[in-house]
Structure 1
Amino acid sequence: MNNAVFDRLTKVLNPISQKIAGEPHIAAIAAGVVATLPFTMAGAVVSIIKSLTFLPESFRNLLNVPYNMTMGVIAVVVAFSVAYQFSQRADVDTFTSPLTSVIMFLMVAAPQSSAIFTTDFVAGKALKGQTISDVISFTYLGARGMFLAIIIALVSVEITVFCKKHHLVIKMPESVPPYVSKSFSAVIPVVLNMIIFYALSLLASSTLGLTIPQVIDKVLTPALNIVGSIWGIILLTIFAQLLWLLGLHGDNLMYAATVYPMSIQAILLNGQLAAAGKPLQYTPALTFIFHSYGGAGATIGLAFWLLFARSKQLKTMGKIGIVPAIFNINEPLTYGIPIMLNPTLAIPFIICPILSVLIAHFAWITGFMPLPSHMSGGLPLIINEFVYGGGAWQYVVVGLLIVVMSLIIYYPFFKIYDNQLLAKEKASETADDAKGQGDSL
């Protein structure tokens, strides 16, 4: 693919890319899901400690509460964070709107109910058969409710936007303090949200015999299976890499609002199974843990070879890019080398992520590497995957194997491009010397 083809494709796709990247719903989902990272990381640390069987069981049981209050309610965090991000972009109240989203989500996903004890919950106290009230279910407050939380966050804010646009708000006199006036202006949007979501919940239960979360489950399962297939992942990876080569942010356009939330949901569901002592079963999108070693294009190998470049340009980029690459950040290389619009580096840039996905997939299907059940992010290579795997040493082996693969695949293309730039630099120096001698005469 030559530069002329790249240029033509860029002219066609660049406006589309900018429109997608600036779309407030997509941007809100991407930013909102990323905002959950501190809570998923905290839950991951607790989960890893819980998995250490040499610790006393009584101590590990004490960690159930912090685990359930982080991983177990992650959908509640999503409902708030996505609504907050969207309300910022929609220019509505960033305090009431996220809280409205959370309340609507709890009303739909965890309605108040009663429960009957099937066993004696407290030793020496006969509770079996007794009924308790004011019970809510945690089933959809965790990973299983993430997509429902995203939908409710977006819709609830849209309802508020509708009310603002059509002046469906209670206006108070100017003499009323602003914080009081703002509270009253939120009354109608909150009531309208409540009517709509509760009506939908009653409609689903009366016509389908299912709750809204159960309906989402039935819709989402096929999508998870498609994305989770190895061919689906490879196809998405190819598209993402082509976008990067055109100078577009492939990860944001292909993954941010769809695949990443699905991947997070699958991993957190595995975490809940692990916490319950059950075998892990969710594999969708999990190979995205390994597909970008060193950043998009699995460029850790290229980042390493740049340190030994002969051309000044690549040598400089190697010094700049190696540390970010260790933390899976390679925008300095993508735009600085550049990799985008670069036919020489396009081939390994597409091949390496695909091979990374295949290596990880093979390690899982053969049973060599256990399925991940923890969230991680922002950590250096190998360590990041080690945390993802809950401390499984196999993740270190697979990570190192991908690093070696990246080194091997990128080397010949790096040498070709390095020699090209070196020749240009020498030609430029020769021309400058000749010009200098001419000026001296």
Structure 2
Amino acid sequence: MANEESSTFKDKLINIAGKFAGSRFVRAIMDAGYSVIPFSIIGAIFLILTVLPQAFPIPGFAALYAHSLGRFTNLFQVIYNATMGILALVFAGQFTFSYTKIYQQEEKLALVPINALFMFMMAFFITVPQLIWKSGTIQFQQSLNPNNIIGAGIAVSTSGITRIASVGIFTGLVVGWITVQIYRFTVKHNWQIKMPDSVPAGVSNSFSSLIPGLCVAVVIAAINLALVFAGTDIFKLLFIPFSFISDITNTWWGFLIIIFLIHFLWWFGVHGSTIMSSFYTPIVLANMAANVKGANNFFAGDPLNGFVIIGGAGATLGLAIWLATCAKSVQLKEIGKVEVVPAIFNINEPILFGLPIVYNVDLMIPFIAAPLASGLVSYFAITLKLVPKIITQQPWPTPVGLSGFIGTASWKGAVLSIVCAIVAFLVWYPFIKRYDKRLLKQEQEAGGSAESAA
């Protein structure tokens, strides 16, 4: 009876998680997250160039830097602004494009993803200016406060237009979702101007998006106007719930909950990293950009692949090395040989499904506890300022050590990354040692039985 209930729970969990991971919204979010990676890497390169004296506090290096690369720091800042400074446009724009394409393919609708992208940009820029209702008219906000410069309603800083950067990611997602749904609705109800087949496709597409685009503009403007009458706007309104969520993820317990859920889902064979990252990707990107400007957010960039799940889900880099070099069981040693190289680049499906870890009760505790331990070490090392905060996002396959250096632009980050990998392995060691002994005994018994039968 207990086994039946357990099986039913597993089936329900897998079904729910599978439906969520396969939902159109989540798939579009994941595409958006991938699209940001090259921009964040480019931005990281030029940001690191501006903080080289802090990354390498070597006597005399600061003076050498000031008379060489230091002469071009403003240019480096411009390039950084051209990548991370348009983060909301890139992230939400790709989300809109992918979301539209999914509907186009799965509902067989005459949607044009690039048109949806342009409609999103129009709608998003409707929300960017800060407006107020004053003296019976809509007016632009103006401010000459050095910390909040606003001209014609547009807030600017040394990073460019403020609201198209990381602060606008959440608003961009909402506007993108509204844009796609309006576009989809108008197409499904044939609210389009259709041109003869003889008209070139480019001309036909431009006219086909006229009515949907008008509908998008009217709806977004109406929402904006209603919020201005209420003394706020969509950016300020969305800031409340999303800042609350962001604050939770920056706590040690909030961070541990994320790690736990990722690995709890993985143990059931569900890609926990994909599901959870669809929630937190906008948060870590926004926090990372805020850190560059002076904030002190722990949950920024890619702390998981940099310091927590080194070697893949379960923090299995040390485990893979031990299996390949020290395991007595033939089964575990062979799996280790296959896994040790991929683990260097945070890929560990051979261990997850070959050891196996998935559905393996004997290894569930270390699989969850190891990343929790490395997560705690990294959290307190950074929040106590023993290691600099995360200011860049490294590619997730970046090897241990290098990932920590890139993320924090400091050698201390590299050391922390290695320490976290060691801590995770120390959690794994007693469990995998006992598991190896059991498998070895089974192999020896199986070998003895085969010899007796012969």
TM-score (ref. length: structure 2): 0.85
Q: Distance in 1 between matches of 2:215 and 2:37?
A: 32
Q: Tell me what 1:102 maps to.
A: 121
- Return closer, same or farther for 1:143/1:97 CA change in 2, 3 Å cut-off: same
> SS of 1:376's equivalent?
coil
Q: Distance in 2 between matches of 1:310 and 1:150?
A: 52
Q: Tell me what 1:384 maps to.
A: 403
Q: Tell me what 2:173 maps to.
A: 150
User: How far did 1:134 drift?
Assistant: 10
Q: Establish whether residue 265 from structure 1 lines up as the match of residue 286 from structure 2.
A: yes
Whichever residue aligns with residue 233 of structure 2, its letter is T
Q: Tell me what 2:48 maps to.
A: 48
From 162, 165, 190, the equivalent of 1:139 is: 162
- Return closer, same or farther for 1:412/1:8 CA change in 2, 3 Å cut-off: farther
Q: Distance in 2 between matches of 1:339 and 1:385?
A: 26
From 226, 233, 238, the equivalent of 2:260 is: 238
User: How far did 1:195 drift?
Assistant: 0.9
Q: Distance in 2 between matches of 1:46 and 1:230?
A: 31
- Return closer, same or farther for 1:79/1:432 CA change in 2, 3 Å cut-off: same
- 1:89-117 deviation per Cα after TM superposition (whole angstroms, max 9, x unaligned): 11131211122212221221257969788
> Structure 1 residues 136-145 or 294-303, which shifts more?
136-145
Is residue 123–residue 216 contact of structure 2 (8 Å, CA) maintained in 1?
Answer: yes
Q: Work out the percentage of aligned pairs sharing the same amino acid.
A: 29
- 1:263-303 deviation per Cα after TM superposition (whole angstroms, max 9, x unaligned): 121112112x1xxxxx3333346753422111111111211
Q: Tell me what 1:351 maps to.
A: 369
- Return closer, same or farther for 1:327/1:139 CA change in 2, 3 Å cut-off: same
After superposition, the CA RMSD in angstroms is 2.5
From 229, 237, 257, the equivalent of 1:215 is: 237
- Return closer, same or farther for 1:358/1:246 CA change in 2, 3 Å cut-off: same
Listed as ranges, the gaps of 5+ residues in structure 1 are 120-130, 274-278
User: How far did 1:219 drift?
Assistant: 2.7
Q: Tell me what 2:134 maps to.
A: none
Whichever residue aligns with residue 318 of structure 1, its letter is G
User: How far did 1:133 drift?
Assistant: 7.0
Q: Distance in 2 between matches of 1:133 and 1:143?
A: 21
Q: Tell me what 2:102 maps to.
A: 89
TM-score (ref. length: structure 1): 0.87
Q: Establish whether residue 177 from structure 1 lines up as the match of residue 192 from structure 2.
A: no
Q: Establish whether residue 67 from structure 1 lines up as the match of residue 80 from structure 2.
A: yes
User: How far did 1:227 drift?
Assistant: 1.7
User: How far did 1:248 drift?
Assistant: 1.1
Is residue 41–residue 393 contact of structure 2 (8 Å, CA) maintained in 1?
Answer: yes
Is residue 311–residue 343 contact of structure 2 (8 Å, CA) maintained in 1?
Answer: yes
User: How far did 1:386 drift?
Assistant: 0.7
Q: Tell me what 2:309 maps to.
A: 292
Is residue 6–residue 246 contact of structure 1 (8 Å, CA) maintained in 2?
Answer: no
- 1:79-98 deviation per Cα after TM superposition (whole angstroms, max 9, x unaligned): 21111111121113121112
Is residue 315–residue 370 contact of structure 2 (8 Å, CA) maintained in 1?
Answer: yes
Is residue 30–residue 278 contact of structure 2 (8 Å, CA) maintained in 1?
Answer: yes
> SS of 1:63's equivalent?
helix
User: How far did 1:178 drift?
Assistant: 3.0
Whichever residue aligns with residue 21 of structure 2, its letter is A
> Structure 1 residues 18-27 or 236-245, which shifts more?
236-245
Q: Distance in 1 between matches of 2:48 and 2:6?
A: 46
Q: Distance in 2 between matches of 1:26 and 1:244?
A: 17
Is residue 110–residue 141 contact of structure 1 (8 Å, CA) maintained in 2?
Answer: no
- Return closer, same or farther for 1:241/1:175 CA change in 2, 3 Å cut-off: same
Q: Distance in 2 between matches of 1:244 and 1:3?
A: 20
> SS of 2:298's equivalent?
coil
Is residue 280–residue 371 contact of structure 1 (8 Å, CA) maintained in 2?
Answer: no
Q: Distance in 2 between matches of 1:31 and 1:136?
A: 29
User: How far did 1:237 drift?
Assistant: 1.8
Q: Tell me what 2:90 maps to.
A: 77
Is residue 194–residue 204 contact of structure 2 (8 Å, CA) maintained in 1?
Answer: yes
- Return closer, same or farther for 1:166/1:432 CA change in 2, 3 Å cut-off: farther
From 302, 315, 318, the equivalent of 1:301 is: 318
Q: Tell me what 2:342 maps to.
A: 324
**When the two structures are aligned, how many residues end up with a matched partner?**
415
